[in-house]
Each structure stands twice: as structure tokens, then as C-alpha cells.
Structure 1
């Protein structure tokens, strides 16, 4: 039984065949010619490509020892469902995610003990000042956000993070072109050369953070990165004194998808940046295999302010180590309408002035 090797044109994807006149493979659709050895190498590379393998080693976190949780209390907020942890001296407080009043009553249970903690470096005074600067000069911000009583509601919370370490073996393949143009006395010529570009290598990732809180938006936490892990210490419950802690409700298995997304994006960007000197570059295929993977559990310091405006909840966060502040601001619609009306008037006046000047000229 005869086996027919069929090749597809790397340029246009059409089926190509051997042309006995030129003794080369030729595409009847785009007229591109190929040496047999070139196509054989290209076919070999396609067959050697592997699917992604971005699996992680199982997590074997340390369990709480007898007596370690005796000084901790927890409460599940009836408003948003967040589970808050504090020390035994925190009797009553407000939920940092929705502002609902809570009373710390229950005993902490059913959670892994954190491996590391980054202690708060900036105090509440610094957080309040950062919040003031965050909305400083914003004319469309509702006045209620400038009231001191809302600034005082900022709370220090240790946010749970899963930290992913891994090495990524990656292989990427691109379709690229170079274009050369020239002219003579009669014609203008354009020559397009097609290339199959391959990149392969290994990139190491250390402590890629994924927050383990369902109430905490991923983009909000990623916006206050980075945290300086060199200041992390082995976890001790004494660091929780005077602060709240959010108990993780997104386990490590659920967080792996987000970690893989971050690793994939960073890996692809790093490899894409090495493909230079071409007119066009299109990624055709790529695969990533993870190795030497491990996951740790840590608590990172975050100052939070949750407040409501016109029935919507707004959450602000500040990195308790670096002071970086982020958060969406509400819009005062009345002030916005006035601003828009004024802007429309200015634009209209400018257009009229330009038209009148053109008429004079």
C-alpha cells in the first residue's frame, strides 16, 4: 500500500506538489517554491510539537497545631459571605468588603496554616493620606468621598495569596515575512520572503501571586503589585494582632488556572520580543511545559476601604508595604452633566471662531 506524503504551503496553507520542471515543490496558489529539504525539516518540526503541560504538584501545606488558633476568632459576613479572621481582642468590627457590622464570635477552623506573612509596613495614617491623594483634584468625584468619616473606615487586612513557583519550557513557532522593493525604468518590484521562525528555551518564575479570596477582584490585587517578598517572614499569629485577615475561599486547585494564565502571558511576551527584523510576524503555534513546580500559601498586607454610593459598592485597596493605591471612583452625574455642557459650549465656541476666521480669510 503506497503512502503519500502531503505538504501544505507554509505561506498560504494550500496543498503543494512537486514540479518536475524546476525540480522543487511549488504551491499552485501563491507560486511559492520550496526545496525538498526545507519542507522535510518543517514537517519534522511540526510533528515534534507537544501539547501544553501546565500541571502543578499537589500542595501539602502545614496544618494548624493544637492551641495555635486559640487566640483567633472568625465571622462569616451575612451580607457578602466573606469570612473574616481577627484576634480575640477584636470583638466588633465592620466587614472590609461590604461595610456590614460584624461581631467576631466563631472559632477559626478548616484552613491551612500560612507558610509566610509580609507584615504591615505602613500604618492607617499613611493609608488615609494615600486615599486623600487618590481622589485629589478629581472634580467629578461625589463630595461624600471627601468626608473624613469614610476615610476613617479604612481597614488593615491580610489577604490570602497562593504563590506559584515553576520553570517553563517553551517552544514557539512564528510565520514571518521580509519585504524588499525596488524599481527600474519601467516597473516597480516587490519581493516578499517567507520565514518559519522558531524559539525555544526555559524561563523561571518565582512566587507568582494569585489571591485566594473570591470577594477580592483579581485585577484590583494585581494592580497593587508588586510585593517585596524579601521582607516576608515565617507565619506567626502575633502578626495578626490589631488587623483582620481574610480566610481563603478559593483553594489552590482553583487558583492554578489564573497562575497558568499569568505564566503563559509572560512567557509568550518574552519569546515574542525576540522575533525582530521582520515586516510581519504571526504566531502559528506554541507549547509550554512546567517543571519543578511548587505552591506556597502567604498573607499579604492590604489596606481596604469599602463604601457605597447610589446603591453600588466601591472597593479601594492600598499595598500595605509599598503604599500603592488603586480603586474605581464613582461619578457625580450632576457634576458630569455640568462639565459636559461646559465642554460642549467651549467646543462649539472654538468651532464658530475657526469658521469665522476662515470666512474672513
Structure 2
């Protein structure tokens, strides 16, 4: 089997790629469009490909040290012959010489096949515009950052996700309080009553996502949620053409711990919302039991953007389906100080005005 798979245009021979706007494969050279169904036979034909046996021997160079090449992979672009270097999790990329999209078919051998994929709905231009909008109306953002900020790198990548379905039976006990105040001619009294509040019931979870790549920060990926799973389709490698893609390096079993954390937190929050009418409600014990647990493997679309300012790199991400944009920004310390003291002044004025009003009413 060939290491790299390119989808060639039968009209002009150029490399075709998935167009997020058309939801079809399109040749960027002759503008020919192809329905996704017509490319399904490609995946079946890949099994019949044979691998070239072209070994060369050379005395040039020196041997790598032990462990120095761990995780390093090299491939040859079938369009221009250029060498593509990547790591062991790279599953789709662009040739750095001819810019043709390629899918690293060998990376899928021995790995689970994705059950589904949410195709990109938004292109690179939309990601750039979202970055500009992200900088607007940020009062504490340094002005020079707005003026000088430029995108060092932007890439569309399919991120591997494990999706967890489960039913939850939960029993949670809360220690709750109610507070009542009253007074007489001499004292103000506060009475606190304590209650033991029990909550039990069932709740279901569908497709709780956990990213399966150690390259992606969990908090960054979770900030891009939610994805609309109604846009998911059966997986075809053709969807990867024109984008980067990682295969998972954290399997479903290893990801289940993060899924359990999210499910437990969401369950406790949902049950806590039913404990009303109390001043405080603190959980004392929690028993959560999972049943009918299932997991599936999906690829979700993400645009990653990087910019460097004052020697520090800032990473931003955009949901390639919905356009939700997240990322941290630098803070103008002088503007933040002015804002803090201005807010403090307003609070002081409000407090003074409130005390003056109470004095007029004879309460103080």
C-alpha cells in the first residue's frame, strides 16, 4: 500500500480536495466538482495498491543516536517527489513544496477506523475574519497588539475525538441551610436551620467528547464545544484531503477517565439545580453508577491559528463547523490598572451613597 494517498482529478490530473462551502470534492485547477459518493471506490481500491521496493544505500551522513528518530516519519510526495517529514500521529497534511493535499494511508494501518467525521463548514478566510473580530472591543488589549498582530500560522486540522454514551444512576446527599433574621429592641438575631437533602434519579448522556490527541489541550478543545452532531457523516478518507489530520495517540480506555470527570461534574450540577429554597446546599456524598456505556470514534474540524508578540506565542482555535472562536490575549497592564482603580472608585461612591441614604433614613 502506498504511504501517501492523493485524490487526482480525472480531467486535469491535479490534486483535488474537500471544499467546505460546496460539501464536495473540487479540483482547484480546473474547478471540476465531484460528489462524495463517487469517491467511495477509492478507499476500496487502496487495498490493491502495491508498495515500491526502491532501497538505496549510501555512505553519506552518520548514524542517528539511539532514540533520536523515535516518532519521526518521512514520506515522498507522489506529485512532485518532495520529502514530507512528520511525526507518528500525522494522518493528513499538505506537501510543503507543491502544496498538494495528501492523506498518509499507512498511518491508518493497525488503527481503528473513525466511525464518523464532521466535515469543515468554514474555510480559512472565515477563520482569519473570526480572528479579527476576536480582537475587537477588547478594552484591556494592548493597542500595539491590535496594530501589529499578524497570523504566523493557520491550519485546518481534523482532531480525533472519542464520544461516550452512557446512562447514569445517581444518589446525592446535600447539607443545606435556611437562615432567618429577626430583632428586638436590643439585638438582631440570626437563626440557621440545617437540613439533609437527598436527590436520586437517572440521567442520560450522548456523545460526551474527549479529544484523543496529546497535542491538543483539553481545555482548548472543550472551549470549542458544542458541535452539532447532525452534521456528522460516515467517514471517508476523501474528507481529509486539503486538511491536516492526526490519528489518536490516546485510546478510548485512556480517555474514559476524562469522560467520567465530565459526566460526574455535569450530573452533580444538574442535580444541584433541583435543590432550591435554601441559603446554601453543599454536597456531602455522591454515588454515581454508569450503565449501557458505549464509545465511538470521530474526527472533528478545528482551525488553529498562531501569532507571536513580544517573544510569546499565542494560540487561537475556531470550531470548523460553527465558527466559535477562542484564545487568550495579552493584557495592557496600564489599562488594567486604570480600569481597576476606576471600578474601585465607582464601588466606593456607591457604598458612600448607600451609607448616606441609610443615615438619612435613621437606620445608621
Check whether TM > 0.5: yes
- Name the structure 2 match of 1:176: 176
Displacement, 1:337? 6.1
- Name the structure 2 match of 1:128: 128
Aligned CA distance change for structure 1 residues 184 and 104 (closer, same or farther; 3 Å) = closer
Unaligned runs of 5+ in 2: 1-42, 51-70, 75-83, 350-364
Aligned CA distance change for structure 1 residues 320 and 141 (closer, same or farther; 3 Å) = farther
Following superposition of structure 1 onto structure 2, how do residues 152-167 of structure 1 map, counting pairs within 5 Å? 153-167=153-167
Displacement, 1:281? 2.0
Contact 1:142–1:330 (CA<8 Å) still a contact in 2? Answer: no
| Structure-2 separation of matches of 1:92 and 1:238 | 20
| Structure-1 separation of matches of 2:286 and 2:86 | 41
Displacement, 1:340? 6.8
Q: Secondary structure at the match of 1:154?
A: strand
Displacement, 1:329? 2.3
Displacement, 1:312? 3.6
| Structure-2 separation of matches of 1:315 and 1:83 | 20
Contact 2:305–2:315 (CA<8 Å) still a contact in 1? Answer: yes
| Structure-2 separation of matches of 1:154 and 1:249 | 23
- Taking only aligned residues, the RMSD between alpha carbons, in angstroms, comes to 3.8
Tell whether 2:218 aligns with 1:239: no
Displacement, 1:179? 3.8
Aligned CA distance change for structure 1 residues 330 and 175 (closer, same or farther; 3 Å) = closer
- Name the structure 1 match of 2:5: none
Displacement, 1:198? 0.6
Aligned CA distance change for structure 1 residues 169 and 80 (closer, same or farther; 3 Å) = farther
Tell whether 2:70 aligns with 1:91: no
Contact 1:165–1:206 (CA<8 Å) still a contact in 2? Answer: yes
Displacement, 1:270? 0.8
Contact 2:149–2:309 (CA<8 Å) still a contact in 1? Answer: no
TM-score by length of 2: 0.63
Counterpart among 25, 36, 46 of residue 67 in structure 1: 46
Counterpart among 119, 124, 142 of residue 140 in structure 1: 142
Aligned CA distance change for structure 1 residues 243 and 288 (closer, same or farther; 3 Å) = same
- Name the structure 1 match of 2:320: 320
Aligned residues: 266
TM-score by length of 1: 0.63
Displacement, 1:260? 0.8
Larger radius of gyration: 1
Tell whether 2:210 aligns with 1:204: no
Aligned CA distance change for structure 1 residues 209 and 104 (closer, same or farther; 3 Å) = closer
Displacement, 1:81? 5.6
| Structure-1 separation of matches of 2:104 and 2:280 | 63
Unaligned runs of 5+ in 1: 1-63, 94-102, 355-361
